[in-house]
Amino acid sequence: MKQTVLLLGSNIDNRLELLASASSLILEQIGPIVAASSIYESDPWGYHSNNPFLNQAVLIRTSFSPEKVLKKCLAIETQLGRTRSKNGTYADRNIDIDILLFEELIISNENLEIPHPRMHQRRFCMEPLVQIAPNWIVPTFQKTTRQILAICPDLSKISISNA
């Protein structure tokens, strides 16, 4: 079994319910969840919206390849009602599932980039990641997630959700 970390996010509809549904579907369709971070709340990153995000990192074990995990994540998003913007810009979304890390792999092709290419720039991503995998070495940086969080340029306010 291989380990991977996914980041779940939602900023419209019933955010907590959507995160819970995504976790259940991940467990059923991809593999067991070994650890889950607290749920964090933050403002949208990269665009303006009045709808704050809830995010949660989950560490899972899977027998699937990274490409198959991506296909399954996209299918789960669709199953939960996600529609993607046609122009590829950031927008509000009911569910988003990103692969942050997959073992110690580095993958870069038109469909998949692992480690996630912008995770080190996003506090809403790094804080939940560090909570569940503080010593995971990110192969593109040869630093632990904790070390990367310490130099994260994003100073956005993020807090553990009380929702």
- How far apart CA 16 and CA 24 sit, in angstroms, is 12
98 is catalytic: yes
CATH code where residue 86 lies: 3.30.70.560
Count of domains forming the chain: 1
93 is catalytic: yes
From the list 15, 96, 122, 123, the catalytic residue is 96
92 is catalytic: no
Full pLDDT tens readout for the chain, 163 residues: 999 999 999 999 999 999 999 999 999 999 999 999 999 999 999 889 999 999 999 999 999 999 999 999 999 999 999 988 777 788 899 999 999 999 999 999 999 999 999 999 999 999 999 999 999 999 999 999 999 999 999 999 999 997 6
From the list 13, 43, 82, 154, the catalytic residue is 82
Q: Residue 65 in contact with residue 50, Cβ under 8 Å?
A: no
Domain span including residue 45: 2-160
Q: pTM score, two decimals?
A: 0.96
Q: Residue 27 in contact with residue 61, Cβ under 8 Å?
A: no
